Amino acid sequence: MDRLPVIRTSLPDLEEYTNEIKDLWDSHWITNMGVKHEKLQALLEEHLHVKHIDLVCNGHHALENAMEVLELPAGSEVITTPFTFASTVHAIVRRGLIPVFCDIKPDDYTMDPDKLEALITPNTSAILPVHVYGNVCDTEALEDIASRHGLKLIFDASHAFGEEYKERGIMTYGDISTISFHATKVFDTIEGGAICHDRDDLVERLTDIKNFGIRGPEEVVYPGGNAKLNEFSAAMGICNLRHIDELIDKRRQLTLKYNELLSDVSWLKLNVIREGVRSNYAYYPVLCDDRDGLFAKLKDNGVDARKYFFPIASEYECYKSRYDSSATPVALDVSRRVITLPLFPDMSLTDVERVCSIIRT
Interval 41-75: pLDDT, tens? 999 999 999 999 999 999 999 999 999 999 999 99
User: Would you say 335 and 306 are in contact if contact means Cβ atoms under 8 Å apart?
Assistant: no
| 285 and 176 housed in the same domain | no
Q: What is the CA radius of gyration of the chain?
A: 21
Residue 182 has pLDDT above 90, yes or no: yes
Last residue of a domain, one of 242, 257, 285: 242
**Among 213, 242, 271, residue at a domain's last position:** 242
215 and 248 share a domain? no
- Residue 342 confidence (pLDDT) above 80: yes
**Nearest Cα residue to 231 out of 11, 2, 17, 4:** 17
Q: Does one domain contain both 87 and 146? A: yes
What confidence category does residue 290 fall into, taking pLDDT thresholds of 50, 70 and 90?
very high
pTM of the model: 0.97
Shared-domain flag, residues 226 and 251: no
**283 and 140 in a common domain:** no
Q: What is the pLDDT of residue 313?
A: 98
Do 196 and 278 belong to one domain? no
Q: Is the pLDDT of residue 99 over 80?
A: yes
Quick one: 281 and 203 in the same domain? no
Range(s) of the domain holding residue 303: 244-360
Residue 3: per-residue pLDDT: 95
Residue 338 per-residue DSSP state: E
- Say how many CA atoms lie within 13 Å of 172 toward its Cβ: 16
Is the per-residue pLDDT at 164 higher than 90?
Answer: yes
Q: Is residue 219 part of a domain?
A: yes
**Per-residue pLDDT at 58:** 98
Question: Do 271 and 235 share a structural domain?
Answer: no
- Domain end, chosen from 242, 271, 289, is at 242
What is the average pLDDT score of the chain?
Answer: 97
**How far apart are alpha carbons 30 and 257 in whole angstroms?**
42
Domain total of the chain: 2
Average pLDDT for residues 149-165, to the nearest whole number?
A: 98
Q: Do 298 and 333 lie in a common domain?
A: yes
Task: Let me know whether 268 and 290 are in one domain.
Answer: yes
pLDDT of residue 55: 98
Structural domain includes residue 88: yes
Same domain, 112 and 73: yes
CATH number of the CATH domain containing 330:
3.90.1150.10
Question: 54 and 105: one domain?
Answer: yes
